[in-house]
Amino acid sequence: MDFSNKVVVITGASSGIGEASAIEFSKRKSSVVLVARRKENLVSVAKNLTKYGNEVLVCQCDVSEWQEVEQMSRTVLDKFGKIDVLVNNAGFAIYGSVLELKVEEIESQMETNYFGMVYAIKAFLPSKRSFSCRKFWPSRHCIVLRIKICYAWILRGFVSRIKRNWYRYYCS
Ligand SMILES: NC(=O)c1ccc[n+]([C@@H]2O[C@H](COP(=O)([O-])OP(=O)(O)OC[C@H]3O[C@@H](n4cnc5c(N)ncnc54)[C@H](OP(=O)(O)O)[C@@H]3O)[C@@H](O)[C@H]2O)c1
């Protein structure tokens, strides 16, 4: 697929898989939006991307906070006028059995890993006239949803709801 001149928003871009994705999209001539909480890390990732010559936008944002995600989406759409790919990557793992984990830890993981994903989709969806979903890597022009095994089923329900509503709003 040709990613040149696409606008790619990557959550969790301050390290790890998100940072690596930003490099790969930059090599493919996309404009990338780097989203995460640690601004200094984002700025450092952005500096490393300048050598590819594409536009890079840093957005400090906690994806578990709806207002911050909404503001981030407005900033992106104001600057680029569109989004082509959303890589919902922000998240973290906590290890331990349900018995051992505190309720606050479980809630905090859901707030970032699940609601962060839902908020980003909700914020950008009105700007899209068509969309498709891929588990890990897009095979065509699309919104990418990160689906971890434990979230796959609840997310499947969410996505099928979006598809039904999509038809009602845009195709009828
Ligand atoms: N590595 C693996 O083997 C593996 C396996 C399965 C799933 N995953 C999942 O893949 C994703 C990336 O993993 P990784 O290994 O690259 O982890 P990582 O290096 O720890 O990166 C996680 C990224 O998510 C961001 N993040 C966390 N909470 C956030 C929040 N509330 N708002 C915005 N950004 C947030 C972090 O940035 P800030 O701290 O700057 O906000 C960071 O950029 C994670 O969701 C992880 O659970 C990873």
* Cβ-based neighbours of 112, under 8 Å, separated by 6 or more: 63, 64, 90, 91, 92
The closest of 143, 119, 139, 121 to 130, measured between CA atoms, is: 143
Mean pLDDT of all residues in 28-33 = 97
CA nearest ligand 1 atom 7, residue: 148
Task: Specify if 65 maps to a domain.
Answer: yes
Task: Specify if 144 maps to a domain.
Answer: yes
Task: Specify if 1 maps to a domain.
Answer: no
Task: Specify if 2 maps to a domain.
Answer: no
pLDDT in tens, 146-158: 434 344 556 666 6
CB of 54 closer than 6 angstroms to any ligand 1 atom: no
CB of 12 closer than 6 angstroms to any ligand 1 atom: yes
Ligand 1 center to 12 CA (angstroms): 5
Task: Specify if 52 maps to a domain.
Answer: yes
CB of 169 closer than 6 angstroms to any ligand 1 atom: no
CB of 62 closer than 6 angstroms to any ligand 1 atom: yes
CATH code for the domain in which residue 59 is found? 3.40.50.720
For the chain, how many structural domains are there in total? Answer: 1
CB of 138 closer than 6 angstroms to any ligand 1 atom: no
Domain that holds residue 135: 7-171
- Per the listing, tokens 């006239």 go with 129
Q: How far apart are CA 112 and CA 118, in angstroms?
A: 10
3-state secondary structure of 42: helix
Can you tell me which atom of ligand 1 is nearest the CA of 91?
A: 45
pLDDT in tens, 106-143: 899 899 998 999 999 899 988 876 556 555 444 333 44
Ligand 1 center to 165 CA (angstroms): 30
pLDDT of residue 137: 44
CA nearest ligand 1 atom 10, residue: 89
Q: How far apart are CA 97 and CA 16, in angstroms?
A: 25
Q: Name 59's bridge partners.
A: 35
Q: How far apart are CA 16 and CA 140, in angstroms?
A: 24
